[in-house]
Structure 1
Amino acid sequence: MALEIIGPLPFERDAQGQLKTRVATIFPKHKTLVTTPGIHAWQRTEFIAHVNRKRLAAGLPQLTFAEEETECAESVDLLIEPDAILIRPDPDRMHLALEADELLQELVSKRRIKFLSVLNDKVQRAIKARGECWRIAALPQSREEMRKMIVDSKVAIRELPIYYQNRLTGTKYVTYTEFARLGNIEPEQLVRQLEEIAEFSRRRNRLGNPEVDFFGADPLRFGARDFAEIRFKSGMSSAEALAKFNDLKSRFRDAVPIDLQRDDLDSDAWCARMFSTIVGRKDETLAEELLRGLSPEFYLQVQWLPGGRFEEGEFIFDAVFDEAERNPNDPELAWLCDPCAKGFIFNFIREYGDIEYVNVGRVGTSLSSRPLKEGRRGVYIAELKLRGSATPIVRFIRMQKWGIRERLDEGKPLLQAIIESEEYTDYILDRRLGCRQLGMNLPRRVNMHRLSEVYDGTNPAVRGQLIWATYFEREYVYGIATDKLPAARLANAAYAERFARLLGRAAASNIIVGRAYERGKRVVFDDGDEVIIEGSDGLPHDLVVCDHSGAFDEYQRPLQEFAADYARPVNSRLHLVPNPREFAEAYLDAFKEGFCRVQGDYRKRRRAFDTLFKHRPYNIEGSFAYRWECVLRRLDQTDPDALTDAIRKQIAVLSHAK
């Protein structure tokens, strides 16, 4: 039985190009979708009338009140956006939402159907179990997208589209600006509009929220009760209607702060307030919040990708991949159906075996402040849960920057591309080992994996051939990147002092390994890779360097030349800490202590350090073995006191100290 539709088709537009309806209600048991314009309550009433007409035609009695209540309870609320249908599930009836989802896929592409209320545990578990985090209705990621969402939230009930609708709570907000504009319409229409506001501001929807509310108004000064005091009636004279309207307008204006009395999409303050109003809690539909404890810098950055679900131990890839295969020229599907996600999942199944669910997300933009360079920049997050395990596993994945694909794009033969890719993999792993040997606090373990992909690059001799891509996988480090630490934390003297010491210690190993780009032209430190882990007392407990990119880039210049770069982390925070001088001294003390410790370890066990990479290729053009030799020589020859003093002279609060 095909889905029966009562009302216009979803996404159908009127002569003005506007959606004919913004809400819909689906009744899975009856395979019926009601889209008549208005509110969900009206659509449920329309459905009951439709059922009763059918029953009467079949010679059956009309539904009893109890039966009507049961039928309405078996419905699912939908919201229709310009490019998506949003399912607002009842957490206690998730099976209905999933049935509705299956029915809607007969009508529109699966990628156009999204879920709301994902922070509810029951909803979240159901979506995760299906491997469908990508089905979450995500919030805008830019100011322009935020403004578009505000504009697209405008809806009507019976009369004019004057309301901004919260898609999660169902409440429709009228602003003072929109209300004031009603003074320009015909008196009869004005009366109808005021009647509508009066009626629906007193109503509650099935979620218990007001159908209509007043944006920015102090509820003690203006609200539904102001309309209850006035009776509107058809045939009211123009003068009488305008008098009542002007009285309400005056009360509304007096109850709203002046900066909210004008709808202004160019005002960041107004947009921020309206945005928070129409989405409910700010994090209510954030896909990133599915990973509890995910660092704040990841908010609005993760795009969850289609994968698949497990049924009785068997993995079924998402049907949207089939849609992508049928539409190879659809750029949106090509972007959404990332083949790397398939490769990651396949490797997870190989490695872990009995998996309950897995979800893979792509980090959309770089989280560090470094400029993007050439090469592959794929970064991913994966969450998987094993059967019988209480907690999920979260993995961080980074594609190798220079792999076979990138070498082929340079015009190199396949064999040479493979060899150079393997050499670069060794270089990455050697750098990691070197960093650990020289005191850098890196994640405990990094695993190297490969996935296969079809080459579709610029090298015609290899195009269409299966090649391999290397990636590195590690545990996700729960914490806050040092460069994104909230200022409020540093205002705490105890927090600032511990932070300074951890940062100083990290700076020592960082300068030793010469983390930089373009042979020292740009030092890499305190720009997104260093993560602070807080203890149970809320104070900094540890600092982990999550990515050692740029290590051993600069291996020849005297370390004193970088004094200003290593004073910058202190200078940039002096205005945030309560005791600037103590903060700077703590940083320098920890820096010197860390440097001396590594230098002492080297001098105590020279052979262990000197021979660590003796088996690796050596040439003065810049092989890692040669760089290692240079870094150790520089470490041995550097005077810790002179280096620390050079940094001290670059710190504003200490440079003039006697």
Structure 2
Amino acid sequence: MGLRIVGEAPFTTGVPGKPASRIASIFPNTGTMVTLPGIHATQRLAYVDLLNASARERGLPKLTRAEEDAEMAGAVDLIMEGDAILIRPHPDDMALAFQADELLQDLVAKHKVKFLDVRNQKVHDAIKRRGECWRVTPLPKSPQEMRQMIAASRIGIHGEEIYYYNKTNGTRFLTCQEFDRLAHLGDSSLRQHLAEIREFSARVNIRGKPEVDFFLADKPFSKADLAPHDFRALAPEELETLHRQLGEKFRSAVRPELQRDDPEDVQWRNAMCAALLGHEDEAVSEETLLGLSSEFFMQIQWLPGGRIEEGELIFDPIFDQGGDAARDPDLQRLYDEKSRAFIYNLVREYGDLEYVNIGRVIGSLSYRPPTEGRREVYIAQVKQRGSRKEILSIIRMQKWGIHEHLDEGKSQLEAILESEEYTEYVLDRRLGCWQLGMNVPGRITAKKIGERYSGKQANYRGIFIRSPYFERDYIPGIATDKIPNHRFRSDAFALAYARLLGRAAAANMIVGRCDSHGHVLFDDGDEVMLENDSGLPVEIVVADQTGTFADYSRDLQGVAAEYAEPINRRAEHVSHCHQFAGTYLDAFRERFFRIQQEYRNRKRAFDTLFKHRVRDEAGSFAYRWEKVLERLHRTDPRELATLIREHLALK
């Protein structure tokens, strides 16, 4: 069934540079799309008028009121933005939204059709079960993207684009600046727009939200101020005076610093973004729906993958468009062959799946500067059929794999061997960390995916290589460096946290965790704090052992000063900074001493743990392990605690 369009075709421009209509309504049951200017409610009415006109032509009675209501209930709201169509689904009828989606793919490519309102649990779950989290309209992730979202939200009804449109709930926000600007439009246009504002501020849409609302005005200025006036009947002088009076009242209802529309101003920009995203986005965020901690919020780009239907894995058709990715920037951002490869592995591992979604973590969740090597991180969301719980996993590509070694000029065989050696090195480091008391994740698995090499060596381009990655369970906590400062005002929280952080610092120092410049890596994004039901810290897990055993030769006294920084950074936020610091140092000293005693009591077990590995004083892991144990044996934890205390900056 072809799609019938009533009105201009989508993306048709009207006045120079402006679309003829930014909104549309689609009726999947009859394959009809209405794009007439107005609001979604008037498009529904136009559709009913069309049905009644058709009935008259065929000599049939017009629709009853109940039949009209049923036809209008079969509509799905659409918003055109750029070259994409956004579907605003009704949470209680997702099947209708998916029917609309299928029809729209006859007009535009699948990746140009996206879903709104994914913060709604019903909408989110329905899209997730289809393995299509990537179809969600992304939230802005930077000030630049926030400015772009604000600019793209400008919309009109029957006249100028004077409103800012919340695509999720359908409300158009009018600012006091835009209201004042109507004075420059001339008598006829001013009259038209004031009547429009009066009419639509009094209406609510199908979601119970006002069609037009007054930005930041709240109760002091509302639709009640416009309701008594018939703007079309006023004389020009009366109209001008009334508009000025209403504008003054609108302005007085808005804080002075927010009366000017300025996307460069942080306060105004944040307030407008909050209005455009809706209160639901503040109350229920993506990490809450997924069970992810807050540092992941707005940091995941979901990728096309596949869906499971009747036990069969069906990959998204977007993978058939791989050759088009170079010509389409949007498709290029979405097309990631690794997503399909991860899904293959997950299906083979877990068997009968209900759904699987793969997301790419964009940007680093750590504040440390980027380093060489591969850094892609992904998240996998899997649910087995019959299981009540989802499985969340973190996937991290191996830093040095075949691709990276080929780029260094190595032969294919050398690259394969060195990649395998690095995998063993990473796993050995993890075992060493665990043996020396570092609280690392309980499970980590080394796996591989197939890729085509496209790097620097031209003679190897196009060959099939096996790229290694590590998969671990997601840790449901918050990174220690991202804990809100206000939480440290609670003495119970602060002291429990200081105790855990001191214990973690001891193990971190023992394994010589630092970057390539010798700076200590600690409390900067890899340590994850877990809480109990009362919100108190109960555990710190080191999610990624980056930099461990990098410093295996320096005496630990030389790095002690850097372990004062976690306390100094939080001292002003705790009520009793000296008690906070003392708890940290006591826990550090006790934990260091305990690990040291465990080594001395089981010295042979520790010393021989990596005897089967090659010992090379140039830096093999077996040699590093040997030097770290020697240093542990000779170091006095009381001296270290004293040195850390000397570098505390407490009032």
Distance 1:42-1:115 versus aligned 2 partners, 3 A rule: same
- Give 1:450's aligned residue: 448
**Which residue of structure 2 lines up, in the alignment, with residue 422 of structure 1?**
420
Measure the CA separation in 2 of the matches of 1:640 and 1:624.
25
Residue 306 of structure 1 corresponds to: 304
| Aligned residue in 2 for 1:493 | 491
Partners of 1:276 and 1:282 within 8 A in 2 = no
CA contact (8 A) 1:567 1:651 kept: yes
Indicate which of 618, 629, 632 corresponds to 1:632. Answer: 629
Equivalent residue for 2:122? 122
Tell me by how many angstroms 1:291 deviates.
4.5
Question: Partners of 2:609 and 2:121 in 1: how far apart?
Answer: 50
* Alpha-carbon distance change, 286 to 115 in structure 1, aligned in 2, over 3 angstroms: farther
How far residue 653 of structure 1 moved from its aligned partner, in angstroms, is: 2.3
The one-letter code matched in structure 1 to 2:436 is: L
Offset at 1:641?
A: 1.1
Q: Partner residue of 1:353? A: 351
Q: Deviations over 1:119-156 (max 9, x none)?
A: 32322221011100001111111101101111111111
Alpha-carbon offset, residue 286 of structure 1 = 8.6
Q: Give TM-score scaled by structure 1 length.
A: 0.97
State the distance in 2 between where 1:624 and 1:90 align: 57
Q: Structure 1 residue 648 and structure 2 residue 639: aligned?
A: no
Give 1:113 deviation, angstroms: 1.0
**1-structure distance, mates of 2:490, 2:379:** 32
- Identify if the C-alpha distance between structure 1 residues 293 and 62 changes in structure 2 by more than 3 Å, giving closer, same or farther: same
Question: Where do residues 398-477 of structure 1 align in structure 2 (5 Å cutoff)?
Answer: 398-477=396-475
Aligned residue for 1:391, secondary structure, equals coil
The equivalences for 1:254-653 within 5 A come to 254-281=252-279, 283=281, 288-289=286-287, 291-326=289-324, 328-518=326-516, 520=518, 522-653=519-650
8 Å CA contact 2:440, 2:543 repeated in 1: yes
Q: Deviations over 1:590-631 (max 9, x none)?
A: 000110011000100100010000000111100000000000
Q: Distance in 1 between matches of 2:283 and 2:383?
A: 22
Residues 573-600 of structure 1, C-alpha deviation per residue, up to 9 Å, x if partnerless?
A: 1011111000000000000011001100
SS in structure 1 at match of 2:460: coil
Letter in 2 for 1:479: G
| Greater alpha carbon shift after TM alignment, 339-348 vs 290-299 | 290-299
- Looking at structure 1, the residues matched to 529 and 607 of structure 2 have their Cα atoms a distance apart, in angstroms, of 32
In structure 1, what is the Cα distance between the partners aligned to 2:248 and 2:15? 35
Shift of 1:56: 2.5
Instruction: For 1:82-93, list aligned pairs within 5 A.
Output: 82-93=82-93
Q: 2:28 corresponds to which residue?
A: 28
- Determine the structure 2 residue equivalent to 1:13: 13
What secondary structure does 2:29 align onto? helix
Distance 1:205 1:331, change over 3 A: closer
In the alignment, the residues of structure 2 paired with residue 471 and residue 166 of structure 1 have an alpha-carbon distance, to the nearest angstrom, of 41
Q: Provide the secondary structure at the position in 2 that maps to 1:168.
A: coil
Counterpart Cα distance in 2 of 1:15 and 1:283:
34
Does residue 52 (structure 1) correspond to residue 52 (structure 2)? The answer is: yes
Contact 2:287 2:296 in 1 (8 A): no
* Amino acid across the alignment from 2:13: R
State the distance in 2 between where 1:555 and 1:644 align: 20
Q: How does 1:226-237 map to 2 (within 5 A)?
A: 226-234=225-233, 236-237=234-235
Match of 2:156 in 1: 156
Distance 2:516 2:276 in 1: 46
Match in the other structure for 2:243: 245
Runs of 4+ displaced beyond 6 Å: 284-287
Over the aligned positions, Cα root-mean-square deviation in angstroms equals 1.5
The one-letter amino acid paired with 1:548 is Q
- Cα 1:285/1:12, change in 2 over 3 Å: farther
Indicate the SS of the match to 1:283.
helix
TM-score (norm 2): 0.98
Q: Give the secondary-structure state (helix, strand or coil) at the position aligned to 2:137.
A: coil
Instruction: For structure 1, list consecutive stretches of 5 or more residues without a partner in the other structure.
Output: none
Supply the distance in 2 between the matched residues of 1:461 and 1:249 (Cα, whole angstroms). Answer: 70
Deviations 1:246-301 (A, max 9, x none): 12112212211112211111210001111101110263799843743311111111
Q: Deviations over 1:26-79 (max 9, x none)?
A: 000110111111100111111112222222333323222221111101111111
Aligned residues: percent identity? 53
Secondary structure at the aligned position of 1:294 is classed as coil
Q: Which SS does the other structure have where 1:620 is aligned? A: coil
Please list, as runs of the form range in 1=range in 2, the aligned pairs for 1:132-171 lying within 5 A after superposition.
Answer: 132-171=132-171
Whether 1:62 aligns to 2:59 is no
Provide the rounded CA distance (Å) in 2 between the counterparts of 1:185 and 1:328: 45
- Per-residue deviation at 1:21? 1.1
How far, CA to CA, are the matches of 2:452 and 2:94 in structure 1? 39
Aligned to 2:174: 174
Conserved 8 A contact 1:137-1:285:
no
Once the two structures are TM-superposed, the CA of residue 374 in structure 1 deviates from its matched residue by 1.4
Could you tell me how far 1:174 is from its partner in structure 2? Answer: 0.7
Give distance in 1, aligned partners of 2:15 and 2:117. Answer: 33
Instruction: State whether residues 287 and 294 of structure 2, in contact with CA within 8 Å, keep that contact through their aligned partners in structure 1.
Output: no
Residue aligned with 1:516, SS: coil
Structure 2 distance, partners of 1:488, 1:574, is 12
Q: Secondary structure at the match of 1:230?
A: coil
- After superposition, the C-alpha distances for 1:210-250 in whole angstroms (9 at most, x for unaligned) are 1111111131x21111111222225x432111111112112
How far does residue 328 in structure 1 lie from its aligned partner after superposition? 5.0
